[in-house]
Structure formats: C-alpha cells, structure tokens
Amino acid sequence: MKRFLSYLTILLLTASCTGTPKGAVPGTDPVIYPDYTNITVPSNIASPNFLIEDDANGYVTLFKSGDVQVRISGQKVCIPLRKWRKLTSQGDISVTIYEKKDNGWVMMKPFDINVGKEIDAYVTYRLIPPSFQTFGRLSINQRNLTNFKERVIYANSMAAADDGEQCINCHSFRNWHADRMQFHIRQLNGGTVYYMDGKLSKLNLKTDSTISAAVYPAWHPTHDYIAYSNNMTFQNIHTNNLERMEAFDDESDLVLYDIYKNAVSVIENKRDEYECHPYWTPDGQTLFYVSAHVDDPDWFFSVGGASVHNELLKYNLYCKSFNPQDKSWGETQLYYDAASVDSSITWPRISPDGTKLLACLSSHGIFPPYQSEADLVMFDLGNGSFRYVDEINSNRAESYHSWSSNGRWVIFSTRREDGTYTRIYLSYLKDDGYFTKPFPVPQKDPEFSRKFLYSFNVPEFSIDPIKVSARVISSFVNSTDPGSVSYEQKEGK
C-alpha cells in the first residue's frame, strides 16, 4: 500500500509538471542571467541555460516552438540538450517565465529566442587569468558549441619544469579548418607549433634580419603562406585608473612565411612605422594591416617610447596588393586614417565573402582589451562606408573578433560583464547588414561566467575539431627543438 501511494504521488507530481500555473496575472519583463531575451541563436548551438534573477517563491519556464513545448521548473533554467534540439528544429522559440509571488503566480512578459543559421561547431580560445606579467596558467581550449564539451588542446602546465615556464598564444586555423593550425610557445621549449596534414612541427621564425619571432598570424587563404607581425611587446601599469594596464609595442614589422620554402621575407619594416595585425582578403590578393606612424623615431625612443607615450601611437588601416604566384607586393594604400580622428584601429577581420571588414577602434595603441572605450567598427569594403557596430558594442572593451565560415556569425571578446574578465559573445549578421543582440556563449551552469576566474582570449571558429591530443602536442613540444627558417630578400616594389 505504501509503495502504491508513493507511486501515485510521483505520478501526480509528474502530471502537474506538464501544464502552466493557473490564474497567473501578467507581469513585467523578466530579469535573467545571462540576458538571453530576444536574441538570435544558431540552430545548432547548445541550450542557452539561464538563471531567473527576480525574487520569487517558485519558478516555471515554458519554451514553445511549433508544436513542441518544454517546461522547466526552478530558478536555474537548464534545458536538456535533446529537448532543446527539438525546440530549435521547429524554428523560433517563445519563452514565458512564471514566478510565484506571495499573492500568486505572475506571468512575466514573454520573450523570443529566434533561430538563425548554423554556426561552426567549434571555437578555440585561450584561457588566462587577467594577468599582468606572469603566465603560469594558460591553456588553449576547444569548445564544442553544439554541446557543452570543452577540451584542452595544450596547457603550459604540461611543460612547466624547474627550468622555466611557457607562454602560449596566437592559435590560428587556415580557412576555419583545424587540420591546419598553428600557435606560439614562448620561452621554455619555445617556437611556433604547426599542425598540418596530421603532422606536428616546431619552428623558430626569428632570423638575424627580423626583430622577433612570429607573433600575430594570418594564414593565406589559397597558398602556403602565413603573414605574421614581428613585435617587441611590453607592458606597463596604470597607477590610478580603472584601466589597469597597457600592452604596447616598442617596435613591430610584418613578414611573410613561405611554408613550402621554409623562408621568411619582410613585408613592411619601416623604422618610423609600427606595422601589425595582418589579415588577408578571401581571394588572397590583398593584405590588410594596421600601422602607427612615429614622426621622429629618435625623439620617441629617447623619451621612453611606447612605455611612456603609448597614447601617441594611433594605428591606421592599410592594405597592400599581393600576387601569390610570385610573392610580389604592390603599393601600400591607406584605407582608414584613424589617427586623423584621434583613434587607433586594430584587428581587421574580413568576412568570408570579402564584403565587410570588422575591426576594433580605440583611443590609442595596439592592445584594445585594456581600453574600456574600445569598440567594434565595420567597413563595407564595396563602398568604403564605415560605422560603429552599436548594436554589439557596450560601454566596456570589445576587442578580438572572428567571423564564422558562413559569414553569418561573429564571435567577439568583451569585458562588458565586469570590466576585467574577458568573455566571448556571439552575434548574428542579418541580411540588412546589422547584427542581432549579442549574447554570451551558452554554458551548462548559467552562473559560470560570474564564477569563472579566467579570461577567454582570441576566440577562433573552426568547422572541425582539432584532431591531435594535448598529450601528443606536449610530448612533441617538450622533446623537439625548433627548426630554423631562412631569410628571403623582399620581392616586388
């Protein structure tokens, strides 16, 4: 009898979980974290779990899409992936939250989650505490956006030894495919690590004729080249400011690495120009990059250079034609004169169809994440028009950004949540050329972002997963000396 009664109770409880609270009165807009209200999500993304922040005695959330209905009880709304898939398969989703207040149920204003085109399934980023100069805990991780699985591609703890530590950075894929990947390792067992066609290799791209090893990469889309910047980067600390630090270059140039020939040649290395952040157009015939001009390099260096006068460095956007057949370069053209509007432009990123260029605009320097006014701007490469992407920007720093392979999604770094910890947000590019409301990459635990004490750096999409394990990479990195490259004289004009 006892057993029967308990079964009956469970049955009744289960039955009561299928409907909505009766007699609910209309309420205001719900407050949820993260703010997933009225967003557009990729059709294949993991469920956007959230926390209802309003105070109430009970919560019921109802998701409706076509003939599919999902009901979740509780303040933490975590939608099982299978049910979420059913919802997205039906198209746009309407979400209604019911909150049980002291005097009965309140039906909060419903909001929508629209379903857009698919997104590349993987995003790779570097996890790093928002550190200043030490780098004892870094890892490059790959997240599967269609679920919540994340794996470490390489962590510097896998190499930490008594004789030093590693900094790891600048992971990059060719044309969104993980079968061609590279990242840098600095210091202990340093070098640029390549994973190409199932093989690992490690190179030291510093030559006697270049100022540093390779830094910011741009894979050529059609040929076996990678454009790199060479940078001499330093950091300094703001003594009394909400922006806590600055990273800056005291010198930088551009080089081209020819993978087939294993040779480096200079693209730009003028002494009074600080060239950086190369990026190719999809046809591989134009290289965009940024560069800051110093009128009097001797004076600049004599007064402490960028370490003291970083605010004087204003990077402009340039482009330069390139013939991939013979590696010859055309004239350099100024594309956007940011300095003339007392700004600095960085991180040019061109959409896969070659029609748009997304970049970061801030007051000065090459490292916008530390500048709260840093915003994303977009150029129409067809007519040269330019606009602030206000629908994405916040009053805190937006910085590194990448296009998805279909050109409909951007992922970008932002410090909008707390000004310090960088988070990655997604936004959908509509047909009218405007983006939808950005939202953070969904996490299993809605409060993840509040609790997590690492920043997400350099989010890069890839269509497929990285096929080499962290163990294999670490074993290779720690047992292989970097190969050298030769230096080629610059060709062309």
Q: Which of 169, 207, 212, 310 binds another protein (CB under 8 A)?
A: 310
Q: Which is nearer to another protein, 11 or 161 (CB)?
A: 161
At its nearest, how many Å lie between another protein and the CB of residue 89? 31
Binding segment toward another protein, per CB under 8 A, in 321-329, 362-370, 376-384, 447-455: 447-455
Query: Cα(374)–Cα(351) distance, rounded to whole angstroms?
Result: 20
Would you count residue 33 as binding another protein (CB under 8 A)? no
The 390-429 site mask, x for binding another protein (CB under 8 A), equals: ---------------------------xxxxx--------
Would you count residue 467 as binding another protein (CB under 8 A)? no
Would you count residue 470 as binding another protein (CB under 8 A)? yes
Q: Which of 245, 263, 312, 463 binds another protein (CB under 8 A)?
A: 245
Q: Which is nearer to another protein, 175 or 394 (CB)?
A: 394
Binding segment toward another protein, per CB under 8 A, in 64-72, 81-89, 243-251, 380-388: 243-251
At its nearest, how many Å lie between another protein and the CB of residue 165? 9
Beta-bridge partner residues of 319 = 288, 333
Tokens representing 86 are: 């059913």
Would you count residue 137 as binding another protein (CB under 8 A)? yes
Query: Cα(388)–Cα(15) distance, rounded to whole angstroms?
Result: 51
Q: Which is nearer to another protein, 15 or 242 (CB)?
A: 242
Binding segment toward another protein, per CB under 8 A, in 315-323, 340-348, 399-407, 466-474: 466-474
The DSSP output letter for 170 is E
Would you count residue 451 as binding another protein (CB under 8 A)? yes
DSSP string over 309-345: HGGG--EEEEEEEEETTTTEEEEEEEEE-SGGGT-EE
Q: Which is nearer to another protein, 247 or 255 (CB)?
A: 247
Query: Cα(338)–Cα(320) distance, rounded to whole angstroms?
Result: 17
The DSSP output letter for 108 is P
Would you count residue 238 as binding another protein (CB under 8 A)? yes
Q: Regarding beta strands 483-484 and 199-204, do their DSSP bridges make them parallel or antiparallel, or are they unpaired?
A: parallel
Q: What contacts 327, CB < 8 A, 6 or more positions away?
A: 225, 256, 258, 265, 491, 492
Q: Binding to another protein (CB under 8 A): which residues in 34-73?
A: none
Would you count residue 89 as binding another protein (CB under 8 A)? no
CB atoms within 10 A of CB 76: 15
Tokens representing 433 are: 């050329």
Contact indicator for 182, 172 with CB cutoff of 8 Å:
yes
Q: Binding to another protein (CB under 8 A): which residues in 156-185?
A: 157-163
Q: Which of 475, 484, 486, 491 binds another protein (CB under 8 A)?
A: 475
Q: Which is nearer to another protein, 237 or 341 (CB)?
A: 237
Would you count residue 448 as binding another protein (CB under 8 A)? yes
Contact indicator for 457, 399 with CB cutoff of 8 Å:
no
At its nearest, how many Å lie between another protein and the CB of residue 432? 33
Which residue in 145, 127, 144 sits closest to 136, CA to CA? 127
Across 88-125, b (16+ Cβ under 10 Å) vs e yields beeebbebbbbbeeeeebbbbeebebebbebbbbbbbb
* Cα maximum dimension of the chain: 94
- Amino acid at the residue 324: P
Would you count residue 112 as binding another protein (CB under 8 A)? no
Which residue in 192, 160, 309, 167 sits closest to 248, CA to CA? 309
Give the Å distances, CA to CA, from 348 to 159, 169, 369. Answer: 33, 18, 15
Would you count residue 474 as binding another protein (CB under 8 A)? yes
Contact indicator for 75, 445 with CB cutoff of 8 Å:
no
Q: Regarding beta strands 32-33 and 344-350, do their DSSP bridges make them parallel or antiparallel, or are they unpaired?
A: unpaired
Would you count residue 200 as binding another protein (CB under 8 A)? no
Would you count residue 445 as binding another protein (CB under 8 A)? yes
Q: Which of 14, 239, 325, 489 binds another protein (CB under 8 A)?
A: 239
Residue count, binding to another protein (CB under 8 A): 51
Q: Which of 14, 198, 453, 481 binds another protein (CB under 8 A)?
A: 453
Would you count residue 478 as binding another protein (CB under 8 A)? yes
Q: What contacts 198, CB < 8 A, 6 or more positions away?
A: 179, 467, 468
Contact indicator for 268, 490 with CB cutoff of 8 Å:
no
Binding segment toward another protein, per CB under 8 A, in 4-12, 173-181, 238-246, 338-346: 238-246
Would you count residue 149 as binding another protein (CB under 8 A)? no
- The residues binding another protein (CB under 8 A) are 129-137, 139, 152, 154-155, 157-163, 235-242, 244-246, 307-308, 310, 417-421, 445, 448, 450-453, 469-471, 474-475, 478
